[in-house]
Structure 1
Amino acid sequence: MRILVVGSGGVGDAVARIAARRGFFECMVVADYDLARAEATVAAAVAAGGGERFVAARVDASDPASVAALAREHGITHVLNAVDPRFVMGVFTGAFDAGADYLDMAMSLSHPHPERPYAEVGVKLGDEQFAVAGEWEAAGRLALVGMGVEPGLSDVFARYASDHLFSEIDELGTRDGANLVVRNEAGEEMFAPSFSIWTTIEECLNPPVVHEAGRGWFTTPPFSEPEVFDFPEGIGPVECVNVEHEEVLLMPRWLDARRVTFKYGLGEEFIGVLKTLHALGLDRTDPVRVKGVEVSPRDVVAAVLPDPATIGPRMTGKTCAGLFVSGRGVDGQPRKVYLYHVADNGTTMAEYGAQCVVWQTAINPVVALELLATGAWSGTGVLGPEAFDAVPFLDLLAAPAPSGYGSAWGMEER
């Protein structure tokens, strides 16, 4: 297997650091628009034991021809997209043109319904990719979409619950929360999102999507249906709200459930900041002219906030990604479980030099790539994680190193 990682920001960098310890691939090309950033990631991967398998390169993720040319140059078999969702189609198309398989952690962008954005779906997340699924299948190529942590691991949990824990499912409810704190040099708490603010604005201010059997997909207003969810391993109760996310667009394509939702524990302060950005128009992506220069307001916001890849040393706490499932167990009796994965920032920084949110996102596509390399997973077309047997993934994720990744997942009866 020869892998091209497009993007060496926080997640792409963590992918390389994690993969450096694994032997399932022959070569990993880490590419970024900023060559120096890609070179820094390669240096970190080499220092982590990756040897000469890692190569740095420059790429324009917005240009399919640039992605395809780089993939052909290095004989790439699998392209892993580690840039934000606005570049999905450029990398997705470039991988196809190069004859490579493809993985991503976020899908093609949505566009709200022009007249009823908070009731009906418009263009859904991933629609552009699923529209060409037949072409990928005819070419014998695989595009594994939504294979991060959320989406990704939660989708694996959904397949596991459907296959092994439940006979009927009332709700597949992704629930994410954390108790992370970032402090400045003076030790004071500061506003510093642990993930791409560009992506966070996109998914939090777009109309959230819900799926119900018999009704299909529909939307609600942002931050709707608040609930307090009690997260494990000391994180505790966090208020979660509806957010647009890929799980709701993926799970119903392969699994049966009466309802599918995604709720994220944003917190009152974060929601307040997002609402203010929206009120001021700073969430807009269309460029505006400022003193003769065209700039995107959202890009300005991203530029003035700390890079998520750099805040690890100033962050404390844990993040939890998981899936709450309710319905009837295999014995026909009512059952509720929470399947989850927790990452502690102190642990991921000490072991990988990566903050916990980007590390938790990055480990899952690496596990998936290893399963594809060994043949434990295989397929063609545009597929979500739900299309594959969950057991090999969960076993490899949790198995102690060096055979596995040594990252345990848990399950609580609720």
Structure 2
Amino acid sequence: MRILLVGAGGVGDAIAKIAARRDFFELLVVSDYDESRAQRTVDWIRARHGDDVAARFATARIDASDPEVVASVAREHGATHVMNAVEPKFVPSIFAGALAADADYLDMAMSLSEPHPTDPHSMTGVKLGDDQFAQTADWDAAGRLALVGIGVEPGLSDVFARYAADHLFGEIDELGVRDGANLVVTDEEGNEIFAPSFSIWTTIEECLNPPVIWEEESGWTTTPPFSEPEVFDFPEGIGPIECVNVEHEEVLLMPRWVDAKRVTFKYGLGEEFIGVLRTLHLLGLDSTSPVRVRSEDGPVHVAPRDVVAAALPDPATIGPRMTGKTCAGLWVTGTGIDGTPREVYLYHVSDNEWTMREYDAQCVVWQTALNPVIALELLAGGVWQGRGVLGPEAFDAAPFLELMARPVDQGGYGQPWGMEDRRA
């Protein structure tokens, strides 16, 4: 396996660092528009693991917005797999470039949505991933696989959905992704500050778009942002957090392969975060349409959302000032395989202190990066196989979860996942 990794930001950097401890690939090319960022990642791998490990890595400059450039870089390095680790606005170009290069493709966020033009808070417009699923026939005809939504969310929760359907439930009432954290970021003086742990560009997109809900009778519908608040109790000391509906890929993926009466995604944003997002929207600072701005060198055009992203701390750099844990998981209700009512929460917790010590990566980006590496290893070994545009639910979950939890000294990733039965 020869991998072209597109993007050396927080998640791309963590993907390379996790992969450095594995031996399933021949070459991993870390690419970025700023090749110095890619080089910094490879330099870290060399310093931590030595020249022999670093010899399996290379760097390249890439323009992720140009499918011809993506295809050219992939061909130059003989890439068999293109791993997309940049913002979802680049999905169409990387997706097209991978297919043109006759390579398989993976991403952690899918093609963007467009709200319904007249009734956005009850009806869907263009849904997340619609553009990619529309090209399924092209990928199938080429004999290539596009594995979409294989980060942590989407990704691990989708694997949990497949596992629950195959091993825990006879009938599923609801698949409810529930994510929360107790992370705190401080400034140099120790004061808590507003610093999102993931790309604010992506966060704005997810949180201010109308959330999607899937129900067996009505299919995909939408609600207003931050709807249906509920308090969810997260494990391992995180505790109860109010969660609200957020637009996310799991709701668009799970019903395609897993039978359930309802699918939802709720995230523990917190009152402060919701307030900030609402203010950004009120001021028009969530817009991606460029506006004319005066400068000393004359007028320039800039997207307000890009300004917000530039003004906030880079999520890849806040790890040393962050404390706490983040939890990603799936709450499932229904009838167990024994015919009795059942309710479980399947989850994985990432501790920032540990990820910083082991990988010099903050826990949110590290947890996101873990799952595509596991998926790549399963694909390399032929354990997972497929063609066309597929989500994680299309594959057997048991090998993924077993490899994830198996101790490192036994060839696994040493990341146990948890399951809580929440109904006596």
TM-score (norm 1): 1.00
Does residue 300 in structure 1 map to residue 293 in structure 2?
Answer: no
CA distance in 2, matches of 1:369, 1:91: 17
Does residue 230 in structure 1 map to residue 233 in structure 2?
Answer: yes
Does residue 88 in structure 1 map to residue 91 in structure 2?
Answer: yes
Q: Deviations over 1:158-206 (max 9, x none)?
A: 0000000000000000000000000000000000000000000000000
Tell me which amino acid in the other structure corresponds to 1:47: A
CA distance in 1, matches of 2:10, 2:416: 22
Q: Deviations over 1:273-324 (max 9, x none)?
A: 0000000000000000001000000000000100000000000000000000
Tell me which amino acid in the other structure corresponds to 1:381: G
Does residue 184 in structure 1 map to residue 184 in structure 2?
Answer: no
Tell me which amino acid in the other structure corresponds to 1:286: S
Alignment-derived partner of residue 38 in structure 1: 38
Tell me which amino acid in the other structure corresponds to 1:413: D
Does residue 405 in structure 1 map to residue 408 in structure 2?
Answer: no
- The equivalences for 1:186-225 within 5 A come to 186-225=189-228
Does residue 347 in structure 1 map to residue 354 in structure 2?
Answer: yes
CA distance in 2, matches of 1:44, 1:355: 15
Does residue 395 in structure 1 map to residue 398 in structure 2?
Answer: no
- The equivalences for 1:7-406 within 5 A come to 7-49=7-49, 50-291=53-294, 292-402=299-409, 403-406=411-414
Runs of 4+ in 1 over 4 A off after TM superposition: none
Tell me which amino acid in the other structure corresponds to 2:179: D
1:218 shift after superposition: 0.3
CA distance in 2, matches of 1:214, 1:48: 54
CA distance in 2, matches of 1:44, 1:92: 29
CA distance in 2, matches of 1:126, 1:47: 39
The 8 Å contact of residues 322 and 338 in structure 1, kept in 2 or not, is answered as yes
SS of residue in 1 equivalent to 2:55: helix
The 8 Å contact of residues 83 and 105 in structure 2, kept in 1 or not, is answered as yes
The 8 Å contact of residues 42 and 54 in structure 2, kept in 1 or not, is answered as no
SS of residue in 1 equivalent to 2:79: coil
1:43 shift after superposition: 1.1
The 8 Å contact of residues 177 and 265 in structure 1, kept in 2 or not, is answered as yes
Tell me which amino acid in the other structure corresponds to 1:380: R
SS of residue in 2 equivalent to 1:218: strand
Task: Give % identity.
Answer: 74
SS of residue in 1 equivalent to 2:172: strand
TM-score (norm 2): 0.97
CA distance in 1, matches of 2:251, 2:128: 9
The 8 Å contact of residues 317 and 345 in structure 1, kept in 2 or not, is answered as yes
Name structure 2 gaps, 5 residues minimum.
Answer: none
Matched positions, count: 414
SS of residue in 1 equivalent to 2:408: coil
SS of residue in 2 equivalent to 1:158: helix
SS of residue in 2 equivalent to 1:335: strand
SS of residue in 1 equivalent to 2:123: coil
CA distance in 1, matches of 2:213, 2:300: 40
SS of residue in 2 equivalent to 1:393: helix
Tell me which amino acid in the other structure corresponds to 1:35: E
SS of residue in 2 equivalent to 1:117: coil
1:51 shift after superposition: 2.3
Name structure 1 gaps, 5 residues minimum.
Answer: none
Tell me which amino acid in the other structure corresponds to 2:412: G
Deviation larger for 380-389 or 39-48: 39-48
1:47 shift after superposition: 2.6
CA distance in 2, matches of 1:56, 1:368: 22
CA distance in 2, matches of 1:47, 1:85: 31
Tell me which amino acid in the other structure corresponds to 1:378: Q
Tell me which amino acid in the other structure corresponds to 2:419: M
CA distance in 1, matches of 2:395, 2:171: 19
1:44 shift after superposition: 1.5
